[in-house]
Amino acid sequence: MSRLLHRDTVPPVPAAELTARSADGARIHVELHGPEDAPAVVLAHGWTCNTRFWDAQIRELATDHRVIAYDQRGHGLSPEPGPGGYSTDALADDLEAVLAATLAPGQKAVLAGHSMGGMTVMAAASRPGLREHAAAVLLCSTGVTRLTAEALVLPLRAGALRTRLTTAVLGAKAPLGPVTPVSRKILKYATMGRGSAPDRVDACARIVHACPRRARVEWGHVLAELDLAEGVRALRVPTAVIAGTDDRLTPPVHARAIADALPVGLGLTELTGMGHMTPVEAPEAVSAKIRELVTRYVATGAAVTAEKEDVA
């Protein structure tokens, strides 16, 4: 059995599972963990990952939270969509479908998104479903535009050549193949900090290599052309940002720009020495921030007050 996250060898067992139907009919696999009547947290994973990426957060939070994690379309147990099914609008549709399927009308939750999961939240910022259900948001290791121009994965000077080559890497059609010592080193270099523990590197490698090739390629094309600047400005709920100082995929320049543009920003936490996979590399910090947001906004209803004050 493969080693998974945070010293555990068996993934958390969900209290329930269901399928949410998105606007285009796509089926989205959803896991529900923890007490049904507890404060709710919704977790959206990033490109090439799946719900197992959040195992550390699920273990920590599901003791006293209702933790909702879902597989983005084409990832994990969510089937690949049909033609035209890869877009930021589709990501927003899927998130709205998950919220509608798992939360009661008007029920509030903290939404946490990593990488493409954070982009999902920003893509849905103006959607009625998000505004109905989001009490607060945590954006981890994400960006809104110029992803290929700013990425530091390739050791080249910034410019047109590096951007073109990075775009080609994101859309590369070659299969990843099995996890090997070499592939683990490559993934660690590209996505994690130098001090990342071997078991966490291995866990990330197994998750990423399990992503279907078509989903990896199609979403890579979407990310290369991403522009969600309007989504940041429309995200009118209290929002915290986390980034690793050594993130090569979405360097801290993205997190700083997002934090500056948020209407109800709660500040930026930069995790020294961490790379792109912050929920895996620094699970305690990410879980603690989610718990803090739940305590502050879901339990007290302060999110509604903060939003009204900002609009006024």
> What is the domain partition of the chain in residue ranges?
16-297
Quote the distance between the C-alpha of residue 199 and its chain's center: 21
For the chain, the first-to-last Cα distance in angstroms comes to 54
Q: Please list the pLDDT of the chain residue by residue as tens digits (312 residues).
A: 233 444 455 789 998 999 999 999 999 999 999 999 999 999 999 999 999 999 999 999 999 999 999 999 999 999 999 988 999 999 999 999 999 999 999 999 999 999 999 999 999 999 999 999 999 999 999 999 999 999 999 889 999 999 999 998 888 888 888 999 999 999 999 999 999 999 999 999 999 999 999 999 999 999 999 999 999 999 999 999 999 999 999 999 999 999 999 999 999 999 999 999 999 999 999 999 999 999 999 976 544 444 444 443
Question: How many separate helices (H) and strands (E) can be counted in the chain?
Answer: 14, 8
Give the number of other CB atoms < 10 A from CB of residue 252: 19
Name the token pair of 294: 């739940």
pTM for the structure as a whole: 0.92
Token representation of residue 143: 């960006």
Class of domain 16-297: alpha beta
- State the greatest distance between any 2 C-alpha atoms of the chain, in Å, as a whole number: 55
39 and 49 Cβ atoms separated by less than 8 Å? no
Distance CA(235)–CA(307), nearest Å, equals 10
